[in-house]
Amino acid sequence: MQALSPSSSIALKSALPTRSPTPTNRVPPSQLVIQCAYRSDSANAAANSNFRGVGVGSTRADWQSACAILASKVVSQQKNDDATGTNIKAVNGHKTLDLVPIENLPKALTIADLSPAPMHGSTLRVAYQGVPGAYSEAAAGKAYPNCEAIPCDQFEVAFQSVELWIADRAVLPVENSLGGSIHRNYDLLLRHRLHIVGEVQLSVNHCLLALPGALAQCELTLTKLGYNVTREAVDDTAGAAEFVAANNLLDTAAIASSRAADLYGLQILSEGIQDDSSNMTRFVMLARDPIVPRTDRPFKTSIVFAGDGGNEDRAGTAVLFKVLSAFAFRNISLTKIESRPHRNQPVRVVDDVDVGTAKHFEYLFYIDFEASMAEVRAQNALAEVQEFTSFLRVLGSYPMDMTPWCPVT
Ligand SMILES: O=C(O)C(=O)C[C@]1(C(=O)O)C=C[C@@H](O)C=C1
């Protein structure tokens, strides 16, 4: 995550918490450090009450070591599993998940294949980045109301936990109405082989949180907050709140959810502090297997493609124009287009007889369009897109989030 991206938390001392903030980084007494964790809204709070989070109440140190365990176990468990074909164990040191290997036998599709049940029991385990109280945890609860939410210290770990059967799904923020795309997750979608099986949109209502009593000590500074705070970006909002509480930082506030205030014993100094009351984050749900696309409800499909730097017909803006027209001619609406630098093929050298050579950046393009892969028009559009591109991957075809929009009041 990057500073000021929707995935960052802010420290207002003007500084918000960093991923591993150091208590020694205290600000001068004249400044207020606000370790910020964001938001609270009743809809999300309600969603949260329906599912079980993991690790609430543990200290940040415990949580960090638990996440470290998760990250390292991912590797060792993979080795064990390769050797025995059974039993991946333990997330956060105190949960065990017995996994049953998938049989490689063909089977008839049933309605259940549209949303496969977990193989290990009835509770769906959903990985998210952050700690309890994070918006991603709320998104997991909205997407899967009775799930068990599993905190992960990095997005990468959330991906791996699904790949290694520690979790059944991952829920990842991909874009925010104010901050734009969360590029890290677009890159990870490409590097991993998980499938998008759904999307969920969440109102994000940030709160300014501090320890009880901090308000009385910082009133003047708070009044001038807009000009007098140091901002510090962190990896997740709830982690910032937890850090303020765990380190008893009276000169620090956090931007986070109201749920984070409850979980970590902080006071809400101010609610709804996001720049726009309709602040909204879109999350995608990932699974090991794709769902079967349907036509009886609105579907969205996400793809990523690259032009071909070595081929004039498949390069540069021409390819983008042709791809867009493949959708436009079929009346397929695009809801999103994003370009990312092409890591494997970063530049294209172009010869110009008069000017010499020039280097152009090469890009990967991510597109979301409003159609199901079960529709012939979508299949035809992609067949055409394939002709113009050197690389094309369908990231997922999944039901659109059609829940009515309830802006925070
Ligand atoms: O920090 C959190 O609470 C998160 O869930 C992460 C995240 C993000 O990365 O975009 C999710 C939603 C909000 O927009 C802010 C932060």
Pairwise CA distance, residues 189 & 287, whole Å: 11
Centre of ligand 1 from the C-alpha of residue 134, in Å: 7
The per-residue pLDDT for 408 is 56
The protein residue whose alpha carbon is closest to atom 1 in ligand 1 is 236
The protein residue whose alpha carbon is closest to atom 9 in ligand 1 is 7
Q: Is the CB of 233 under 6 A from ligand 1?
A: no
The protein residue whose alpha carbon is closest to atom 3 in ligand 1 is 134
Q: Is the CB of 252 under 6 A from ligand 1?
A: no
Give the residue, out of 18, 38, 129, 135, with the most ligand 1 atoms within 8 A of its beta carbon, to mutate for a pocket test.
135
Q: Of all atoms in ligand 1, which is nearest to the CA of residue 239?
A: 1
Q: Is the CB of 135 under 6 A from ligand 1?
A: yes
Alpha-carbon torsion (178, 179, 183, 188), positive or negative: negative
How many residues can be counted in the chain? 409
Q: Is the CB of 131 under 6 A from ligand 1?
A: no
**pTM above threshold 0.90:** no
Centre of ligand 1 from the C-alpha of residue 322, in Å: 35
Pairwise CA distance, residues 14 & 225, whole Å: 8
Q: Is the CB of 41 under 6 A from ligand 1?
A: no
Q: Of all atoms in ligand 1, which is nearest to the CA of residue 38?
A: 3
Give the Å distances, CA to CA, from 286 to 50, 82, 98, 356: 20, 23, 20, 46
Pairwise CA distance, residues 205 & 40, whole Å: 5
Give the residue, out of 237, 242, 274, with the most ligand 1 atoms within 8 A of its beta carbon, to mutate for a pocket test.
237
HEC sequence for the chain: CCCCCCCCEEECCCCECCCCCCCCCCCCCCCECCECCCCCCHHHHHHHHCCEECCCCCCHHHHHHHHHHHHHHHHHHHHHHHHHCCCCCCECCCECCCCCCCCCCCCCCCHHHHCCCCCCCCCCEEEEECCCCCHHHHHHHHHCCCCEEEEECCHHHHHHHHHCCCCCEEEEEEEECCCEECHHHHHHHHHCCCEEEEEEEEECCCEEEECCCHHHHCHHHHHCHHHHECCCEECCHHHHHHHHHHCCCCCCCEEECHHHHHHHCCEEEEECCCCCCCCEEEEEEEECCCCCCCCCCCEEEEEEEECCCCCHHHCHHHHHHHHHHHHHCCCCCEEEEEEEECCCCCEEEEEECCCEEEEEECEEEEEEECCCCCCHHHHHHHHHHHHHCCEEEEEEEEECCCCCCCCCC
Q: Is the CB of 164 under 6 A from ligand 1?
A: no
Asked whether the ipTM of the predicted complex exceeds the cut of 0.90, the reply is yes
Q: Of all atoms in ligand 1, which is nearest to the CA of residue 134?
A: 3
The per-residue pLDDT for 212 is 87
Q: Is the CB of 237 under 6 A from ligand 1?
A: yes
- Give the residue carrying structure tokens 């918006």: 135
Q: How many CB atoms lie within 10 A of CB 336?
A: 14
The per-residue pLDDT for 91 is 31
Q: Is the CB of 238 under 6 A from ligand 1?
A: yes
The protein residue whose alpha carbon is closest to atom 14 in ligand 1 is 6
Give the residue, out of 8, 171, 202, 281, with the most ligand 1 atoms within 8 A of its beta carbon, to mutate for a pocket test.
281
Q: Of all atoms in ligand 1, which is nearest to the CA of residue 179?
A: 14
The per-residue pLDDT for 258 is 97
Bridge-partner residues for 399, per DSSP? Answer: 299
Residue type, 34: I
Q: Is the CB of 6 under 6 A from ligand 1?
A: yes
Q: Which residues are catalytic?
A: 281, 283
Q: Is the CB of 281 under 6 A from ligand 1?
A: yes
The per-residue pLDDT for 75 is 36
Q: Of all atoms in ligand 1, which is nearest to the CA of residue 260?
A: 3
Spans of the chain below 50 pLDDT: 1-33, 35-107, 109-114
